[in-house]
Amino acid sequence: MKKTRPNPRANKNILWFAYGVVGVFAAMGLYMGVFLQFQSEDVINNPYNARIAGMADRVVRGKLLADDGTVIAETVVGEDGKETRSYPYGELFAHVAGYSTMGKTGLESLVNFHLLSSHVNLMEKIIDELSGEKSTGDNVATTLNLRLQQTAWDALGDRRGAVIAMEPDTGKVLAMVSKPAFDPNTVEAEWDSLVNGDSKEARLLNRATQGLYPPGSTFKVITALEYMREHPGAYDGFHFSCDGIYEYENIRIQCYHKTAHGEEDFAASFANSCNGAFASLGLELDLDGLKGLSEQLLFNRDQPLSIPYKQSVYQMEADAEDWEIMQTAMGQGSTLMTPMHNLMVMAAIANDGILMKPYFVDHVENPGGQTVKKFKPEAYGELMVANEAAALKELLVRVVNEGTGSSLRTDAYQAAGKTGSAGVGGSSGTGTTGGITPGTGGSTGGISPAFGTEPGVCGSTGAGGTGRRTGAPQNVQNFASSRILFPHFVQNMV
């Protein structure tokens, strides 16, 4: 009988087919690994996930805790078994903690899965199952500090605005306040008034991350950085003679109260927040470079935030008219920025150019206090190189020591910052910004930590005046008295 010779081509095809099958399984395994590591929690925590509702049938929702264990939110079970979500501090943590009726927002939404998970001991779980009782959910220990949250709340008073406190070298968010606020205990009862389209209060809006406002002269930090990049080693050669009003063709730019700053170099122009100098400087810049830098600093881009936010907006193009160039270089024009974004830029400067991802949760613990999951600081990336951050830090320190931020100069600590005034509506046009109807004019002020290990604060308020006056509230001194430095970015709006 004649033997059949193996067909080399057929064997090769079988081999390639085997490789293909192995490759498909390998790709599936890789995908499952990536999914479980990075995406599973988001999918499970999706409000449309029916599994979450099933978990609520078996588990009593856990507590939200401040960094010292103080209860921010808890579920109270009545004698009839009815569960009521309680927020002991009412409006104080409203926007950051969120609510869990009429949907979920804030941390109530972010850590929903953890609050409905239960890591009680096995015996207790068995007893609960046999008796038909619900297990107690895990508690989520946040990074929020009760004392700082209360101080920020008191600092805003009855004005509209927001304050955020964050550690630049870790990204740990220590406080987040937004006003006007709402009481999460009464959201369901007040729902119609809260969502009424005729209301201009926008109490549900978290102005810290969702309010878009002109950055004012705090944007001069970015303008200055672009000028430094275009003139490496030579930017100190910049000189400007300020007589209070800068005229270019038919455009007039005036400094605060038409103050004449006289002869200024680059650092003095920054410290004095000289509008004329920066309008003139803006006309020299490569506009494509300024836009590229702005986007590198997270304008028009997704931001590393785990709670809802608005993207900051930079719109000026390379063919912009002189008026727009001058206004944008000063922080006016059509540029819009959230307080949280402004804080992240300042935090990167304080942290040698590295932005840490802001985070709100320290750890998850079972009802017995044992840690189930620990969250660690994570770097987002380098927004600028270390020597650029150091140079900007020197400029910001000079603002406080010699310039417009001198009201924050103290022997208790070395502060660094940037003041400024921002037009919101009015001469720049009227409209709705950040969910509210803006008024005319406004002001900003900023203090960033001089060292990356000190927490930073960014805020917005509805107080009148300019950043020179409202940018350094007495409450900053209260923060300093506890040996903690908190910069304050203030922006006025109606």
H or E stretch at 283 = helix 275-284
3-state DSSP of 299-349: CCCCCCCCCCCCCCECCCCCCCCHHHHHHHHCCCCCCEECHHHHHHHHHHH
Q: What is the pTM of this model?
A: 0.83
pLDDT of residue 436: 21
Q: Are 448 and 487 in contact (CB under 8 A)?
A: yes
Task: Please tell me the distance from the alpha carbon of residue 248 to that of residue 246, in angstroms, as a whole number.
Answer: 7
The per-residue pLDDT for 311 is: 97
The pLDDT assigned to 478 comes to 38
Q: What per-residue confidence (pLDDT) applies to 438?
A: 26
Query: What's the pLDDT score for residue 400?
Result: 87
- Per-residue pLDDT for the chain (494 aa), expressed as one digit of tens each? 555 666 666 667 777 877 788 888 888 888 777 655 555 566 666 655 667 767 878 899 999 999 999 999 999 999 888 999 999 999 999 999 999 999 899 999 999 999 999 998 878 877 877 777 888 999 999 999 999 999 999 988 888 888 898 999 999 999 999 999 999 999 999 999 999 876 778 999 999 999 998 888 899 999 999 999 999 989 999 999 999 999 999 999 999 889 999 999 999 999 999 999 999 999 999 999 999 999 999 999 999 999 999 999 999 999 999 999 999 999 888 999 999 999 999 999 999 999 999 999 999 999 999 999 999 999 999 999 999 999 999 999 999 899 988 877 877 777 788 876 665 443 333 222 222 222 223 334 344 445 555 666 665 555 444 455 444 444 443 333 332 333 333 333 22
Residue closest to 215 by CA, chosen among 418, 377, 357, 66: 418
Q: What is the pLDDT of residue 488?
A: 36
Which residues 6+ apart lie within 8 Å of 132 measured at CB? none
Alpha helices in 7-104 (DSSP H): 8-34, 40-44, 50-58, 94-97
Residue 65 has a pLDDT of: 98
What is 80-104 written as a DSSP string? T--EEEE-TTGGGGHHHH--SSSS-
